[in-house]
Amino acid sequence: MLANTLSDQEFSQFRSFIYRIAGINLSSAKKPMVVGRLARRVDQHRLSSFAEYFRLLNNGSHPDEVQMAVDLLTTNETYFFREHKHFDFLRENILPQHPPGKSFRVWSAASSSGQEAYSIAMVLDDRLKSPHWEITASDISARVLETARRAHYPLEQAEHIPPRFLSSYCLKGVGSQQGTFLIARNLRERVNFMQVNLNTSLPRLGTFDVIFLRNVMIYFDAETKRQVTRRIAGQLKPGGHLLLGHSESLNGIDSTLQTVVPSVYRKPL
């Protein structure tokens, strides 16, 4: 078994690896996290050091392992209706201004295991009362996207879901599925999950009325933030809104989007 030691030089190599691929800037405080998440992979390949594992990742013959390492090193903490004021703003400020019968598109651009996308879906289905809406949800991690597509969660994750949404959109497990819940089919069918790396050229996604890009910019340095924001802003419709995490800001990063309230921006018409 591998001793759980990671030299500063080895940590620097993994920092460069995840920055090159995902634009994520790991601080030195993340060194124990790297050890904890990658040690099992080193053991799995029967390697004697993190340095050997890094060489395996970079020899070009293990693309699946590269994806596994990326999955493990990207942070995926999330829960339903996290930072609920954004959902209040969507419901009370954005949706009432949307013309009835016109399509409404939302992109959950760092969707992790799907809780954010399904929270958005509950609000849209409840407020629009229309079939003309859709959600694209993306993440760099293939592993969490598999969880998102299943839409099957432990019951304790229902804690922050409003009771009326819980009864309307969540199916409580019984028998062997006791202690879990499943997002209702009519919502699952309206969310398209896909793997997208925000640190590279974006695929053809179309344009969106609202983009959620929350709690991911904090992992980027200033230049990466500028590049990602430029790509994201290009996918917004004129008049569309970009929502960041409550601790995030575009101050000094982008001057083309207008601040509506803290962490909420609008693309000029």
pLDDT recorded at residue 131: 87
| pLDDT tier at 77, thresholds 50, 70, 90 | confident
- Domain annotation for the chain: domains and CATH numbers: 8-73 (1.10.155.10), 85-266 (3.40.50.150)
pLDDT recorded at residue 82: 96
Is 254 an active-site residue? no
pLDDT recorded at residue 87: 98
**261, two tokens:** 């309230």
Side-chain-side CA neighbours of residue 169 (13 Å): 25
Average pLDDT, the chain: 94
- Determine the residue type at 264: V
DSSP 3-state of 144: helix
Side-chain-side CA neighbours of residue 149 (13 Å): 12
**Least confidently predicted of 72-76, 100-104, 107-111, 148-152:** 72-76
pLDDT above 70 as % of the chain:
98
**If you average pLDDT over residues 173-177, what whole number do you get?**
94
Closest to 108 (Cα-Cα) out of 69, 132, 148, 135 = 135
pLDDT tens for each residue of 220-261: 999 999 999 999 999 999 999 999 999 999 999 998 999 999
- Cβ pair 253, 247 in contact under 8 A: no
Q: Rounded to an integer, what distance in angstroms lies between the CA atom of residue 98 and that of residue 79?
A: 27
pLDDT recorded at residue 19: 93
H or E stretch at 149: helix 142-150
| pLDDT tier at 4, thresholds 50, 70, 90 | low
| pLDDT tier at 100, thresholds 50, 70, 90 | confident
* 77 φ/ψ angles, rounded to the nearest 5 degrees: -70, 130
pLDDT recorded at residue 176: 94
pLDDT recorded at residue 130: 82
**If you average pLDDT over residues 2-19, what whole number do you get?**
87
Is 139 an active-site residue? yes
Catalytic site residue from 41, 71, 125, 139: 139
C-beta pairs of 81-86 under 8 Å, 24+ apart in sequence: 81/119, 81/160, 81/161, 81/162, 82/115, 82/116, 82/119, 82/160, 82/214, 82/215, 83/214, 83/245, 83/246, 84/160, 85/246, 86/212, 86/214, 86/243, 86/263, 86/264
